[in-house]
Amino acid sequence: MVISPTEENYLKAIYHLQALSEVVSTTHLAQKLQTKPASVTDMMKKLQAKNLLHYTPYHGFSLSAEGRKTALHIVRRHRLWEYFLAEKLSFEWNEVHEVAEELEHIGNKKLIEKLDAYLGFPQFDPHGDPIPDSRGRMQQPELVPLSTAPIAFTGVLQLVTDQSKDLLEHLASRKLRIGTRLELRSRSAFDGSVDIKMGSKTLTLTRQLANHLLLKQI
Amino acid sequence: MVISPTEENYLKAIYHLQALSEVVSTTHLAQKLQTKPASVTDMMKKLQAKNLLHYTPYHGFSLSAEGRKTALHIVRRHRLWEYFLAEKLSFEWNEVHEVAEELEHIGNKKLIEKLDAYLGFPQFDPHGDPIPDSRGRMQQPELVPLSTAPIAFTGVLQLVTDQSKDLLEHLASRKLRIGTRLELRSRSAFDGSVDIKMGSKTLTLTRQLANHLLLKQI
DNA sequence: ATAAAAATTTAGATTAGCCTAAAAATTAAC
DNA sequence: GTTAATTTTTAGGCTAATCTAAATTTTTAT
Ligand SMILES: [Mn+2]
Ligand SMILES: [Mn+2]
Ligand SMILES: [Mn+2]
Ligand SMILES: [Mn+2]
């Protein structure tokens, strides 16, 4: 079956929104894709006709098994390219998403399998998100938000859940990267901000930021 | 100015056809792009409106200075990706074109400059075609077609001018690649076929094939 | 339980890129 | 140089993806 780049973007967006709630609404998706609800409705009819979607008018939609499988392929391509851009072309981690957003639509199967092998079958992209394998399976390590970890917790930064430019630049300026080892020293009872130790340095992060930083225990 | 992937394909095709004759006809371009003359006319009007083309109805078209510059950028991207696919992902040289045909449309400037640097600023793609630099300039070594080279001529295969799947597979099966060193031993007065020495082996190539093999003297 | 507000769908247009068939212009043949 | 063949353009339509405005349905508030 032929799936256009636009349809791919829709499927991927639904996949991501389903992490928040199993069934997705028209407005929510329109907002995510920077488009209008009327356009979403049109596309939902098309994707349903292709059996990629379960759709009940006025009551939202969710991916079918096949739609989910397709979405995972796109996520795989996106994250492999992000890894390539960061690792091989030395892009900053806040620049990779935009370029990968285009590269992900090149569907040649051999290309992706060879790219994966060339990169050494990476498990995580530069933001710490897991990369699905060719069958759509991926690692899901136990992660603890820095905002709720117990005092003295030691781990490595594994995943950043808000990947906005602002947040990524904030982290970059403090040399906090995926894989950075850190220890939680204290949490303010006043505002929830946390002090962490990172190598020999100590720094303070707001609760709002700490909430988006997920750690893997070591 | 925004240029769509389709417009890019048209510009690149015109650029290539202009190597044969300065001014290009509607049918010729339609044939090259596997489309209909009526579609070409539509697009020519659009490209002329964007000042990428000189176009006189019924009398053909040629790229403007800006159109040529744009075409060279696309050729650059195409050939850099071909080099990447062959060199880094170990694609066969007859497989790279199709994938590069899609990758070339990803216009992010930083991507191409970083890719170029990562690849070590290659001068030639896997078919021996020169890769334009970021200002559109490229090497144009003196090349001699094997079909007309003098007996005893020694050189390396530098460029293959017919890049059809059939020809590339024919060469691959004989282990003839870009960079292969060979010597012209004799040319048949009967059918123009040539005998060449390649390492310790000798093989015969038809005139038709030899005509597409361009050598650089060494 | 009704009315108001919000969300969603439908209706009707628009644009890019393509097509077929018909009309017009150019080129080739006699 | 007129006619026939070929090439090119124009006219009119189609599909994918988008939009705005209007109609419909669902949800929320009284
Ligand atoms: Mn995308
Ligand atoms: Mn990512
Ligand atoms: Mn292309
Ligand atoms: Mn090439």
Chain B residues close to A108, C-beta within 8 Å: 98-99, 102
**B100-115 pLDDT tens trace:** 999 999 989 999 999 9
Asked whether residue B56 carries a pLDDT value surpassing 90, the answer given is: yes
Q: From the CA of B105, how far away is ligand 3's center (Å)? A: 6
Residues in chain A: 218
Q: From the CA of A133, how far away is ligand 3's center (Å)? A: 28
What 3-state DSSP class applies to B8? helix
Of all nucleotides in the shown strands, which has a C1' nearest the CA of A44? C9
**Residue written as token pair 């009551």:** A59
**Residue A122 burial (CB < 10 Å; 0-12/13-18/19+)?**
middle
User: 10 Å Cβ neighbour count for A59?
Assistant: 9
Q: From the CA of A61, how far away is ligand 1's center (Å)? A: 20
What's the mean pLDDT in A122-134? Answer: 95
Asked whether residue A83 carries a pLDDT value surpassing 90, the answer given is: yes
Residues in chain B: 218
Facing A99 at nearest CB: one of B99, B108, B118: B108
CA separation for the pair A167, A160 (Å, rounded): 9
Is A95 in contact with B89 (Cβ distance < 8 A)?
Answer: no
| In chain A, beta strands by DSSP E | 53-55, 61-63, 144-145, 154-160, 181-187, 194-198, 201-205, 213-217
CA separation for the pair B79, A82 (Å, rounded): 22
**Residue written as token pair 């996949």:** A15
What are the structure tokens assigned to A46, written together?
């098309």
What are the structure tokens assigned to A204, written together?
């303070």
Chain B residues close to A89, C-beta within 8 Å: 111, 114-115, 118
pLDDT-derived band of residue A215, with 50, 70 and 90 as boundaries? very high
**B181-198 pLDDT tens trace:** 999 999 999 999 999 999
The CATH superfamily of B144-217 is Ferrous iron transport protein A (FeoA) (2.30.30.90)
Domain ranges of chain A: 5-63, 78-140, 144-217
Q: Which residues surround ligand 1, an ion (CB under 5 A)?
A: A 9, 101
Residue A204 contacts residue A194 (beta carbons within 8 Å): yes
Query: What is the residue-wise DSSP string for A9-47?
Result: HHHHHHHHHHTT-SSB-HHHHHHHTTS-HHHHHHHHHHH
Q: Residues in chain A whose beta carbon is closer than 8 A to a beta carbon of chain B?
A: 85, 88-91, 95, 98-99, 102-103, 106, 108, 110-111, 114-115, 118
Chain A residues close to B118, C-beta within 8 Å: 88-89
Integer angstrom CA distances of residue B39 from A20, A207, B2, B63: 46, 58, 20, 18
Residue among B123, B47, B115, B118 nearest B77 (CA): B115
Residue A53 contacts residue A46 (beta carbons within 8 Å): no
Class of domain B5-63: mainly alpha
Please provide residue A113's backbone torsions phi and psi, each rounded to the nearest 5 degrees: -65, -40
CA separation for the pair B52, B73 (Å, rounded): 13
- Chain mean pLDDT for chain A: 96
- Chain mean pLDDT for chain B: 95
State residue A141's pLDDT score. 86
The yes-or-no answer to whether B5-63 and B78-140 have a common fold is yes
pLDDT-derived band of residue B45, with 50, 70 and 90 as boundaries? very high
Distance of CA B127 to the CA centre of its chain: 7
User: Strand B201-205 and strand B194-198: pairing?
Assistant: antiparallel
pLDDT-derived band of residue A24, with 50, 70 and 90 as boundaries? very high
Facing A89 at nearest CB: one of B102, B106, B114: B114
Is A118 in contact with B88 (Cβ distance < 8 A)?
Answer: yes
Percent of chain A topping pLDDT 70: 100
User: Strand B53-55 and strand B61-63: pairing?
Assistant: antiparallel
Among chain B residues 20 through 49, which have CB within 7 angstroms of nucleic chain C?
A: 35-36, 38-39, 42-43, 46
State residue B195's pLDDT score. 95
Choice between B47 and A179, residue whose per-residue pLDDT is larger: B47
State residue A218's pLDDT score. 84
Facing A111 at nearest CB: one of B99, B114, B118: B99
b/e per residue, B86-108, with b = 16+ CB within 10 A? bebbebebbbbbebbbbbbbbeb
For the beta sheet containing B154-160, the strands, ordered from the edge strand earlier in sequence to the opposite edge, are: B144-145, B213-217, B154-160, B181-187, B194-198, B201-205
Comparing alpha-carbon positions, the chain A residue that sits nearest to B117 is A89
Q: From the CA of A159, how far away is ligand 2's center (Å)? A: 9
Q: Does domain A78-140 correspond to CATH entry 1.10.10.10?
A: yes
What's the mean pLDDT in A166-176? Answer: 92
Residue B51 contacts residue B66 (beta carbons within 8 Å): yes
Helix (H) or strand (E) holding B187: strand B181-187
State residue A143's pLDDT score. 92
Residue A115 contacts residue A78 (beta carbons within 8 Å): no
User: 10 Å Cβ neighbour count for A49?
Assistant: 10
Comparing alpha-carbon positions, the chain A residue that sits nearest to B115 is A89
Of all nucleotides in the shown strands, which has a C1' nearest the CA of B46? C16
Q: From the CA of B107, how far away is ligand 3's center (Å)? A: 12
State residue B218's pLDDT score. 83
What's the mean pLDDT in A67-78? Answer: 98
**B127-171 pLDDT tens trace:** 999 999 999 999 888 899 999 999 999 999 999 999 898 999 999
CA separation for the pair A171, B170 (Å, rounded): 54
State residue A140's pLDDT score. 87
A73 touches strand C (CB under 7 A): no
Facing A89 at nearest CB: one of B89, B90, B115: B115
State residue A120's pLDDT score. 98
